[in-house]
Amino acid sequence: MSNNIKYLEQKSLEYRKTTLEIIYNSGAGHTGGSLSCLDILNVLYNNILGITPENFSSSNRNQYIHSKGHSVEALYTVLCDKGFFSKSDLDTLNNFNSHFIGHPTRKIKGIEHNTGALGHGLSVAVGMAISKKINGSDKFVYALLGDGELSEGSVWEACTSASKYKLDNLVVIIDRNKLQITGKTEDVNPIEPLDKKFESFGFEVNIINGNKIEEILQSLELIPFKKNKPNVIIANTTKGCGVSFIENQVSWHHKVPSEGEYKIAMEELNKRLK
Amino acid sequence: MTDIGKPNLEIFAETLLNQAKQNKDIIAVTSDSRGSGKLVTFGNELPDQIIEVGIAEQNLVGLSAGLAAGGKIIFAVSPASFLTARSFEQIKNDVSYSDHPVTLVGISAGISYGQLGSTHHSLHDFAALRAINNISIVAPADNFEAAEVIKKAVSYEKPLYIRYGKKPMMNLPRKNSNFEISKASIIREGKDLTLVATGETVQRAYLASLILQDKGIDVEVISMHTIKPFDNEALINSINKTKALISIEEHSVYGGLGECCSSIISQGEFNTKFKIIGIPDEYMINGTQADVLDHYGMSPEKIADTSVALLA
Ligand SMILES: Cc1ncc(C[n+]2csc(CCOP(=O)(O)OP(=O)(O)O)c2C)c(N)n1
Ligand SMILES: [Mg+2]
């Protein structure tokens, strides 16, 4: 295994610790969905996007939209590590008058778009990708969506535009953890066969394990998958990934660990840290 | 004196379950909102009377209109923010304009979601829905009103929007134990000042009236639970006997309770001192519901201070 992959795997463990810490300390957060998408954010921000505090105000760079805005604690964790703001700023999360709230807002440096109402991010990403084409930019737009979020009709409206405008500079990543608030996505409102849906909307589809650094990296390095076609990565993930008692539990969608649970979770993560 | 009840949202769910057990035509429709709407028990006990559409609020409302057209008694339950913004056109065309008597239940309304931020707040719902013909708007203050409005909704023949918060609410005193949509509840009578409020802010108005009572100011408190059709008469009767009026709402100062009052006062040429308290038109400060309401002048103490200043 390459040094880079080992390095990122260790980072993922640290990120999980920070995410749990800020949720625990602030008393609120979307634990399950944050842990399921952390490995994807890790690879994006450390190896793919090249978005830094220095180039953030530049108009010709890659862009990332966190459409499943409720998993904001994962995004805060990674942006903090990349130097967009200090840990002490992040520690004001959920405090009165803090800009660090339970969904991403552009009041925080590093955040591209205000999200939180599901099903908005992809249309905005499509607009950004068209804009890049018009400007002759060779940069990409990435958007992360939840699988429950895919029930919003607006997602599929955005898909039709993406394929009409041949947006091979658009990368849609689905956090396919198979759970939403009420239960399993396939019980609440079935979305399979998901790959065939995206194919029929004109996308080039890649299916990966979204909690395996190596697979995420390989897939993202292949972008654009095919000229003139929008890209979608269906990332099969485990909601709550990394902490055994949180994994795959519908109740952990926005549950906050108790003191005892927090200790056990941290011990479990510390054991795997080298 | 402070008789704390349950969250109005829980009362909604309990009442709906009781009604639905007696009436098989009642159907709850949810959009991954069963847990937030306290309808897990409903779903377990009456699985044939609940329809789940997933995270798709537009579909939720359109489909509800269709179910109502098929003769069912429909309660469409989703967070107030998404229900009244995302599905606005379905509410306007498929429910109100097409006249299908759906009851839209907006849960965790106002700033109940606190630090989840503006995407989750509904400070626009009164204003938006007031501008739509053929829909009534109710925001119950306490457990009594929360339960009564659901019982009325079952046989209400028009589109109806009900807004619920999720914090436990005081059981308020009231002059009359009748509840009618469109008839304000007089919480207490007074002759110096009228405090008119709606939804979860009525409790704050009532607590302010107790502070003012100690200062020798005799306050009338009105729960204007129905924002449309508005009970003009209750407001006019009150301002005819008091010297000043303050409206208090967990909503934008634009288009809500305050502007309902303002329109009545100015068009009727009433001569009363008047102040609107609500959420100003600014990037809203972050905090819990209680902290934000306090910040914008809706703590009982601040309401009392504003009252004293207005009467001076
Ligand atoms: C328009 C809209 N409707 C409802 C919600 C409430 N909500 C927040 S998270 C969530 C479930 C999301 O499930 P999924 O997209 O699968 O995310 P994940 O499993 O990754 O947490 C819901 C319904 C919302 N934020 N926006
Ligand atoms: Mg999911």
pLDDT of residue B269: 82
Extents of the domains making up chain A: 2-273
CA atoms within 13 A on the CB side of B243: 9
Estimate the share of chain B in helix, then strand, then coil, as percent rounded to the nearest 5: 45, 25, 35
| Domains along the sequence of chain B with CATH | 4-169 (3.40.50.970), 173-311 (3.40.50.920)
What average pLDDT score do residues A27-32 get? 98
**pLDDT for A93 beyond 90:** yes
CA-CA distances (angstroms) from residue B137 to B27, B53, B73, B91, B106?
Answer: 20, 24, 18, 12, 11
Give the separation between CA B163 and CA B157, rounded to whole angstroms.
18
Distance from CA of B69 to the nearest CA of A (A): 23
Query: Residue A64, Cα to own-chain centre: how many angstroms?
Result: 9
Put simply, the answer to whether A101 touches B120 (Cβ < 8 Å) is no
pLDDT per residue, tens digit, chain B (312 aa), is 569 999 999 999 999 999 999 999 999 999 999 999 999 999 999 999 999 999 999 999 999 999 999 999 999 999 999 999 999 999 999 999 999 999 999 999 999 999 999 999 999 999 999 999 999 999 999 999 999 999 999 999 999 999 999 999 999 999 888 999 999 999 999 999 999 999 999 999 999 999 999 999 999 999 999 999 999 999 999 999 999 999 999 999 999 999 999 999 999 989 899 999 999 999 999 999 999 999 999 999 999 999 999 999
pLDDT of residue B176: 85
Give the separation between CA A143 and CA A232, rounded to whole angstroms.
10
- Which 32-71 residues of chain A touch chain B by CB within 8 A? 69
**pLDDT for A1 beyond 90:** no
| Spacing, Cα B271 to ligand 1 middle (Å) | 49
| Spacing, Cα A181 to ligand 1 middle (Å) | 7
Tell whether B34 is within 8 A of chain A (Cβ).
yes
What average pLDDT score do residues A141-150 get? 98
For residue B47, whether the previous peptide bond is cis, meaning omega lies within 30 degrees of 0, is no
Give residues (CB < 6 A) around ligand 1: A 32-33, 36, 68, 70-71, 116-119, 146-149, 175, 177, 179-181, 239, 253; B 32, 55, 57, 82, 86
CATH of domain A2-273: 3.40.50.970
pLDDT of residue B1: 53
Buried b (16+ CB within 10 A) or exposed e, B133-171: eebbbbbbbbbbbbbbbbebbbebebbbbbbbbbeebbe
CA-CA distances (angstroms) from residue A69 to A66, A143, B156?
Answer: 6, 11, 37
pTM: 0.97
| Spacing, Cα B73 to ligand 2 middle (Å) | 31
Strand order in the sheet with B160-163: B50-52, B26-30, B73-79, B103-107, B160-163, B136-138, B226-228
Map tokens 């979305």 to a residue: A191
Give the separation between CA B259 and CA B282, rounded to whole angstroms.
18
Q: Which of A23, A65, A96 to mutate to test the interface with B (most CBs of B within 10 A)?
A: A96
Query: Residue B157, Cα to own-chain centre: how many angstroms?
Result: 19
Length of chain B: 312
**pLDDT for A11 beyond 60:** yes
User: Ligand 1, from B32, B36, B52, B55: best to mutate by most atoms within 8 Å of Cβ?
Assistant: B55
Contacts of B35 in chain A (CB under 8 A): 181-182
Chain A nearest-CA residue for B52: A188
Residue of A95, A149, A182 with shortest CB distance to B52: A182
Tell whether A121 is within 8 A of chain B (Cβ).
no
